[in-house]
A and B are shown apart, each in its own frame.
Chain A
Amino acid sequence: QVQLQESGPGLVKPSETLSLTCTVSGYSMTSGYYWGWVRQPPGKGLEWIGNIYHTGSTYYNPSLKSRVTISVDTSKDQFSLKLNSVTAADTAIYYCVRRSRIAMSLFDPWGQGTLVTVSS
C-alpha cells in the first residue's frame, strides 16, 4: 500500500527558504498520479499548494506561485517543496499527498504531516 512520509527542518528563519521532501513507498511514482503538497496553519483550514506529475509538469496555487517550486526525483521515489521568502504566515503543518489523474479532487493518501515553524 502506498505511503508518504514528509521530512525536513521544523524551524525556518523569516526570509529564508522552506524545504521539504516527501518519500513515496509502495507505489511507483511514474504510474499515473500527481504528487503534491497541502498545508494547514495551526487552528486553520487546508490550503492546496501545488502538484507535480512525474514528467515534471507543475501546477501551483496562484496565491503562492511566485514563491513555490515543486520538483520530483523518481529515481529516489521522492518529490520536494521549496517555498522562499517565508514569513510567520507560512507556519503550518505541511502534508504531502497523491492526487488522482481521473478523480481530479481526490487527494489520497496523505502523509502524516510535518510542522514547520517560521521564527527567528
Chain B
Amino acid sequence: QTVVTQEPSLSVSPGGTVTLTCGLSSRSVSTNYFPSWYQQTPGQAPRTLMYNTDTLSSGVPDRFSGSILGNKAALTITGAQADDESDYYCVLYMGSGISVFGGGTKLTVL
C-alpha cells in the first residue's frame, strides 16, 4: 500500500513563509507523479490550489507556489494571511489510473 506523507500540522506567523511537503515512504517524488495541492476549510469541499507540480489554479493568489524540494513535492505560502488557515492535501498519480492522497496538513496562522 502506497503511503503519501505530509506534516500533520504546521504553524506560520501572519506575513511569514511556510513550506508544506508531500513525500513517499519508499521513493522520491518527481514531476512524473503530477503532484497537486488542495485547500479545505471546515464544511467546504476542497479547492484546487496547484497542479502539475507548479501550475497555479485559476484564481489562486500567487503567494502560493509549488515545486520539488529534494525528494518531495512542496507547497510554499509566502506572506501568509489569516484566511490561509486551512487543511491542505496533496495527491500523487501513481500510474495505472491510481491516485493517492496524503494525510493532510493542518496549517495554523498565528
Contacts and interface: CB of A to CB of B under 8 A. Distances in A.
A59 B45 contact: no
B36 A103 contact: yes
B97 A51 contact: yes
B48 A108 contact: yes
Interface string B91-110: 11100111111111000000
B55 interface: yes
Contact of B96 (A59, A99, A106, A108): A59
Contact of A62 (B1, B36, B93, B103): B1
Contacts of A108: 48, 51, 57
B42 to A, nearest CB: 10
A47 B104 CA distance: 11
A19 B1 CA distance: 26
Contacts of B79: none
Interface in B50-98: 51-52, 55, 57, 89, 91-93, 96-98
B89 A46 contact: yes
Interface residues of B, number: 27
B19 to A, nearest CB: 19
B23 interface: no
Interface in B12-59: 33-36, 38, 40, 45-46, 48, 51-52, 55, 57
14 contacts: A45-B101, A46-B91, A51-B97, A57-B97, A100-B51, A103-B51, A103-B52, A104-B34, A105-B33, A105-B91, A105-B99, A106-B52, A108-B51, A110-B46
List the 7 shortest-distance A-B pairs measured between CB atoms, nearest first. Answer: A59-B97, A104-B93, A105-B36, A106-B51, A104-B34, A110-B45, A105-B34
